[in-house]
Structure 1
Amino acid sequence: MQPEIRKFLEHVRLERGLSENTAVSYARDLADFSAYLAREERTWADADRTLVLRYLSDLKRRGMKAATIARRMSALRAFFRFLVREGGLTSDPTASIEVAAPEEHLPRVVSEEDVERLIGAVRRPDAMGLRDRAMLETLYATGVRVSELLALSLEDLELAAGYIRVFGKGNKERVVPLGEVAQDALTLYLRYGRPLLARDRNENAVFLNRFGRRMTRQGFWNLLKGYARQAGVAEQVTPHTLRHSFATHLLEGGADLRVVQELLGHADISTTERYTHVTPKRLREVYRNAHPRA
């Protein structure tokens, strides 16, 4: 890794407090631009507006989606601003470049019935079955990101009080309430399931894999896909699908947008507003209840 990139990543981790996932994404994007500079026999100091525009055209020729290109440009902006502040460059070559915002898609959502079928597909009576049900119930009950779910440690659980402590993007802490069903599932897992999976008494992760170590995102993803197939859920279900469904179902039930923003850990309420689209089912219900001739 080039020293300029290394210093920048240290900056975003330590001074800006960005998550490790964001830092890794920055590193990948900047490595791609660095490789492009090498092919062009140029350096960071040689980068000007024309070179950056040629790089963006190269991304398009490679068939990259608008969202990926926008993310690459965001990484370049942050990096070049850092170099200018640090005195490594006298001007920012990205300052006057505008990239079209990618088309925004509504989050994929599954129905409450599909969520019930998905969680009901967990029928294993063993420790891993208790763990899987606890993970799915917690994910849907709280709307946390999958990274936040799997990062939970035992000291983050306050089951008697009915909430969990979550550390989200930028290591920002928030408290998220648990429903009774998720509380019960977690209690059963911690009492009868986790002790059978734990091999190291110093391991404090809540959710353990069969080797007694913290469950990975890939491991959870594989489990979720398997249960979705067993449940016959037609929609493609991802961990983020359950997060979207959590938010949408809360709003459809009358929850305040600001409350949902806080629960999801969104810094900007405009991000939460994506969930305010009205489903056809909800539209019909409101119409029947409100119109005098419905």
Structure 2
Amino acid sequence: MTESHQQSGTVEYFLQDIEHHGRNERTAAAYQRVLSEYEQFLDDRFDKTPPAASYRDCMAWVHELRTTHSESTVATYASYLNRFYSYLERVGHTEENPMTVVLEEMTESIESNPTRRDVTLAQMRSFVTDIRHPLHQALVTTLLKTGIRAGELCNLDLIDLNLAHDAQTWQPRAHIAGRPDSLFVATEHTYGRESGGELRTASNKRKRETVVPIDEELKAVLVRWLAVRPDTPSRTTTGAATEPLFVGTADSWGERLTPNVVHHVVEQYARERGWYRTGGGAAENVTPHYFRHFFTTHLRDRTGDRGIVQYLRGDVASDVIDTYTHNWGDRVRETYLEHIYSLSV
């Protein structure tokens, strides 16, 4: 950190706080070094202080770390920043912890089988039934019915959806043109890079592109959403227009949703159920990533076919699919439609 860049009072107060809680000098020094580097990064890149940083700013810092540090070191530094922002949230210096969604995305590669809250199917059905807002209902139902990540949900374009319904007024992409009632999840979208003529705010982390079947329940929810979806397209850096599937209906009217918005929508309803607590971790809080865990657990138990579930999650490469028949797409659809759970009470 340059001499001209003074360490903010928020960092100093936080360091005093962890010392009061018994952290040794070595640990405190590590926090100070990491937070100082983070402050310098924000100042140089975005001309911001930590309390003003957003999820995107924190994610940019994580991406920067990955160019020079191992994943384990990046995870450690991210945990430092998360505790720092939890402190700022607790003392009222920021309204939210921007690292919550960042850590949620990172957790997937760190914890292969974390212990989580046990929500029964009956409880989840009641949870979904209480959601009346067409957009919110579509977001939650899509996450629960497909197992896709929040970032992948945000990256969906209208052309990634093929519905056998009059509500569809666009030509779906070639991958699903002959597959009605299907959702296409791509691999090419990356945070901070242009894709489809648009700068993306989230990454798709799948190992291969995936075609996910849509059952009648999800179809009905999506049709209801399309009936009220704002027509305003997302403007691209090239002047062309992409049409995101899920867009804002409040402050960001007609703009593509971000993972942070999706997280807060889920958090809003989870809090009302007592399923989310500020400061709670993955074992306690119901988040968009919890829905991916719920989908995986229930569909794997119902089908007994780990390969198909791995494919739907985007976790496997071509060699796994090659162990099945050439009629892979039909097998996935038949197995999915036979076993996917209903979310209706």
User: Which TM-score bucket, shorter chain as reference?
Assistant: 0.5 to 0.7
Pick from 145, 148, 159: which aligns with 1:144? 148
| 1:147-170 Cα distance to aligned partner (Å, 9 max, x none) | 111111000001222210001426
Identity of counterpart residues, as a percentage? 29
Q: Which residue of 1 aligns with 2:231?
A: 198
Q: Which residue of 2 aligns with 1:226?
A: 268
Cα deviation, residue 113, structure 1: 2.1
Q: For 1:224, give the aligned amino acid.
A: V
CA contact (8 A) 2:184 2:212 kept: yes
How many residue pairs were aligned?
Answer: 182
Q: Which residue of 2 aligns with 1:260?
A: 309
Q: Which residue of 2 aligns with 1:119?
A: 128
The answer to whether structure 1 residue 163 and structure 2 residue 164 are counterparts is: no
Unaligned runs of 5+ in 2: 1-57, 81-108, 165-179, 188-204, 235-240, 277-283, 319-345
> Over aligned residues, Cα RMSD in angstroms?
3.5
CA contact (8 A) 2:208 2:315 kept: no
| 1:200-223 Cα distance to aligned partner (Å, 9 max, x none) | 484500101122100111111111
Moved more, 111-120 or 251-260: 111-120
Q: For residues 1-294 of structure 1, what are the structure 2 equivalents within 5 Å?
A: 25-30=62-67, 105-106=113-114, 108=116, 110-123=119-132, 129-160=133-164, 161-168=180-187, 169=205, 172-190=208-226, 192-194=227-229, 197-200=230-233, 202-210=241-249, 211-233=253-275, 235-267=284-316
| Alignment partners' CA distance in 1, 2:160 and 2:313 | 17
Change (3 A) 1:254 1:172: closer
Cα deviation, residue 115, structure 1: 1.8
| 1:224-266 Cα distance to aligned partner (Å, 9 max, x none) | 0011122344741111100010010112213401110101010
| Alignment partners' CA distance in 1, 2:137 and 2:259 | 16
CA contact (8 A) 2:161 2:183 kept: yes
Higher Rg: 1
Change (3 A) 1:215 1:143: same
Change (3 A) 1:23 1:222: closer
Change (3 A) 1:216 1:172: same
Cα deviation, residue 145, structure 1: 1.1
Unaligned runs of 5+ in 1: 1-20, 34-51, 66-100, 124-128, 270-294
| 1:28-73 Cα distance to aligned partner (Å, 9 max, x none) | 2446x6xxxxxxxxxxxxxxxxxx9xx97xx98x8968xxxxxxxx
Moved more, 250-259 or 167-176: 167-176
